[in-house]
Structure 1
Amino acid sequence: MDLSLNVYENLVQLARLGLAGRSQDVQAYLRQIIRRLGKAEPALAQQLSELLAKAPSALSPLRDFGSAIVPVDADSRLALAKNEYPVLVPNAPILEEMLRIKIDQVVQERSHLTALEAQGLGPTRSLLFVGPPGVGKTFSARWLASLLDRPLITLDLATVMSSYLGKTGSNIRSVLEYAKSVESVLLLDEFDAIAKRRDDEGDVGELKRLVTVILQEIDDWPSTSLLIAATNHGELLDPAIWRRFDDVLEFHLPSADLRERTLRDLFGDSAQRIDAWLPILTDLWADRSFSDLTRSVQWARRRATTMGIDVVEVLLDQIGGELRLSTAETRKQAAKILSEAGYSDRRISELVGISRDTIRKGRG
């Protein structure tokens, strides 16, 4: 070995970090050594890379998940986290292309650990999901856990937050240590509740101290687990929080293309019946999230099933008010669809708010 690499100093530093129990720092230091070894000692660099790649299964095998004890609040004795394994997700989330690529990347990294370690890199350890309610943040976290075949551990915010000074920080540390002890995906939902800006004068010192705790935990988060924090209010997060995550994924309300794809999937076997209405629904429901679209479609399908009527009839009753308030172009388009379906001029006029004379002229 090339003595210029200061082997002895490296060994001392590794021993110091290991004895201090700082496994994440040990891994980071080893990556530096691998880069420095470079072409001089390729065999040794390869061995170290393989050791790092195997570290997750060696440190906390998945089979030990069942034996790990879920932390509880000392006073209430309620569990501080919920865990789920296996994570069963019926279908993949419909996402913007860049979000899908980033999530796929996280999954692929776990299959290429040796190659990453050989480059002095580790896998993604932490993600921040930001976006309005109902756009797929929690669903995507579940999907990731399912793809990685990892337990999903979710912080129970209601139990963790304590009125006793110092208890909230202690509870959160317990959950974080628990998530570190197994190969898992930890979801910190409603993250803004525990990671608010430290200049918020309305918060007590306890919540401000929480931010410091969380910053340290994110910095030290092991590659054995994946930490996902999700928030509907990114503007409330402490600025230092954003820099600590390996990646930030911004979720938006679905685009027109995604809305149409989502609606087609949600209507299932009935999709053919409402095919002509999809462009109109896509336009009328432009401000709706994925969860809003799901609720609307499921209500219409349930109504049609229980009343024994055509889903299009239910849909027309559901969107009638919106149609009458929509743009002239949308109302004309709806009138044309209804006319071709055999609806009377009177019924069309009631539904879209266009006079019967105008409807007749349009047909002519």
Structure 2
Amino acid sequence: MNTYRIASIPGDGIGVDVQAEARKVLDRAARRFEFGLEWTEFDWSCERYLETGRMMPEDGIEQLAGFDQILLGAVGFPGVPDHVSLWGLLIPVRRAFSQYVNLRPVRLLPGTTSVLRDRTADELEMVIVRENSEGEYSELGGRQNRGLPGEFALQESVFTRVGVERIVRYAFELAQTRTGRVVSATKSNGIIHTMPFWDEIFAEVAEEFPTVHSEQCHIDALAARMVQQPERIDVVVGSNLFGDILSDLAAAVTGGLGMAPSGNINPAREHPSMFEAVHGSAPDIAGQGIANPVAQILAGTMMLEHLGEAEAARAVYTAVEQVLATGEVATPDLGGKATTAELGSAIADAVQA
């Protein structure tokens, strides 16, 4: 029997609540399909930062390196700036383990209502491939003349040929397994250096995939299309910033961030990948038992797929669809009165059924 070592980082706020339910569901799937999940929990969080001055210990990356995968709850806590939590935990892990693909599948699930009320699940199904290691999220830059009238901030973007080529190629290869359509998010009419560079490389890679329909679209027009004509979108590839924005928009039009999972993927499988819900830590409702655990559970299905346990992943996804479709067990954001644990248990029971 295969046994996988999983690092569990519940994080802050509702991350703790939804992580418990995801583990419950995944453990049930592991028992049914006869493999093992060996969990090791880490208390790395903003609350830890307030106590120790660090989101994770100095040897945190070394501690994680021996695990097969990482399941992350959510980070964020009052009193800790977002850039501290991001650069103190998430970005170091993504970059140390070359998790250069941020994969965000988006689909309208049963029992949920899109703000685009006339659209069906088939029309609201896409995947965002976000470059996850460079681009606009760079440490290069700084602030000068602090506190003076001439104070300014300078932020540099970093686009390398290797970084752009590999994320674009990943998107094309993914499109080949789906509908054969990929669109690139750009803004080369306004961003004079990095975006034309991105466009050129996209066009070069496109020549390698003659059976895939490809196009480049300015991000503002693409955002409008996502709302007005979502059926025209399948695979979207974008830079770190553009992919981040578009994936949240895609989640919003398909029922909200509470339903959206994501994976920080190391395609070569040389290092662990990290899976998480798109939503934040929502500290205002933490511990109240009302958070929706579906996104974190679906992040778990992505983790199972990456481990090669595709049958178990499908069983969990099907269980989520079945429970949501009945509407009998739903958290308040879905119009019900069930608790986080009750929804998690219902999905776990459906996995075993």
Give the TM-score band, short-chain normalised.
Answer: under 0.3
Higher RCO (C-alpha under 8 Å, 6+ residues apart): 2
TM-score, normalization: structure 2? 0.26
- Structure with bigger gyration radius: 1
TM-score, normalization: structure 1? 0.25
Higher helix share: 1
